[in-house]
Structures are given as C-alpha cells and as structure tokens.
Amino acid sequence: MPSTGRRGYHEPGTMLTETQRQEFADRGYLRLEQAFSTSEAAAMEDLVWSALTERQGVTRDEPESWSAAVITGLQDLKTDAVFDPIGGPATTGALDDLLGPDAWLRPRQWGQFLVTFPRRGDAIDPFTKAIWHSDFDYATDPDRLAGALVFSFLSTVAPHSGGTAILEGSHRVVQRFVSVRPRAELEPMKRARKALLQSDPWLTRRASDGGDDWLERNVGRDATIDGVEVRVAELIGAPGDVVIGHPWLLHAPAPNRATQPRMMRVQRIHATEPPSS
C-alpha cells in the first residue's frame, strides 16, 4: 500500500478489499477486524465498567449486581478521548472508500452505547419483540449512498449475547421499495417503515415475531424478496472490531441470552451533500 510515512495513511480507494466491497454491496455490511487494538478496546470497556460501578453499583465480577437488562446513563462518556481510536485509520479509511474522501461528516463522538446484560430474575427485557428498522430516512435518492452505520465492539460479542440482529441483503429490498414510490409515501419515516414491512409476507412474519427466543428461532432463516436474497443474522465480534453497515440495512435490538454483558457503540455517519450542478 502506498505510504507517505504518516501513520495510517492510505491512498483513497485502497483501504477495502474487493471481497469487502462485494460483501457491503450484497449483504449490506462489512467487517473490519481489529480496526482498533484489543488494549484500546479494554481501556474503553474499563471506563464503562468504572462508570457503572460508581453510578449504579454494577460491578464486573458480581453478576448478582446486573439487575437491569439494558443500561442507560452513559451519555457523558461519549466524548471521552479513550474512545478516539474507534475513528482511527481503518474506520476512516473504509468510510473514505465507501463514501468518498472528504464526502462524509466526521462525528464529534462515536455514538450511542449499546450495553445489555443477561436478564436476571424478573428484570424487564424490552427486546423480546423484533423491532426491525433502519436509521436513515427513506425519502432520499435511492441511487446515492446517504451515509453508513459504524458499530464498534468494546467487548467480545458472542452468538445470542445481545449483538444487534440484522437482515442481510435488506438494504437492496429497501432500495427497490423506495425507487418505485413517490416521496409522499416515504414520509414520515414510521409510516414508510410500516409499509415496507407489510409489503412482503415473509417480512411481515419477521416483524411480528416475539418472545424470549425470537432471535434464536430466526437466525439463519432466509428468503427471496423481490428477487433479493435476505437472511437473518446477528452481529458478533471481538474487541476492536468495527462493522460498517449500509444506511438502509434493517436491524433490530436483540436480547442477551448469554452469560456476559454486550458492550458496543453505534454511530450514524452522514454523507455530505453532492455539489449542485
């Protein structure tokens, strides 16, 4: 790879492999293994645990203190410098390749914390219903990539441990849905999403599913919708991994049915407006 001697430098268009580009085009996401180091991820995880212990009495080595399935109240940690490595050369280089150099808005911080614990006792788990959605507006040009989702892994996220559920290939279903409908039918977003999920019986069944084991029952299920192959999967990864998703990739919060907490972050990256002609 060409280098100017600057750490992390890459020529535009050279960060991603052809395999990664094809994965993004076909499945709607790609993985960057070790986008930041395991030691950097450990420092991030330590900060989260420290805050949880100080503020909520939740400690790493005492599972009996994990009384809530979903953790909130970490907003003030978002801009801590310990998380800066998420936006290192691997992540920013991949975004340059997908969206174009200087064609996306660098965020001030790397997004919402996704911290979920295994459910204990009678704790309320809000993720026992499949809430399929995408995070970007549908009333946009279907032929232009409006941005991306950046999922970062602070801890090991194993199968069934609360990693976000995804519907591989669904970005292409959304694209076809958007391309044949007038803008008025694509707003507001909630109505458009409901219409999308009701546009195919298989999608409707997935969207109406629920129960403690809805994800386990659905992982691996596939279908062909409007000529597009789709498949239910879940995001798993190691500390330091980053997954970049298409803005229209359908995904859903997932219950944690493992024995360890899931610690991730997710941020929306917005493309800049194309120059006017």
Task: Please give the domain boundaries of the chain with CATH numbers for all domains.
Answer: 27-270 (2.60.120)
For 174, half-sphere exposure in the C-beta direction (CA atoms, 13 angstrom radius) is 32
pLDDT tens per residue across all 277 residues of the chain: 333 333 344 455 568 999 999 999 999 999 999 999 999 999 999 999 999 999 999 999 999 999 887 888 899 999 999 999 999 999 999 999 999 998 999 999 999 999 999 987 676 777 888 999 999 999 999 999 999 999 999 999 999 999 999 999 999 999 999 999 999 999 999 999 999 999 999 999 999 998 888 999 999 999 999 999 999 999 999 999 999 999 999 999 999 999 999 999 999 999 997 654 4
Judge whether 144 and 90 are in contact, CB under 8 Å: no
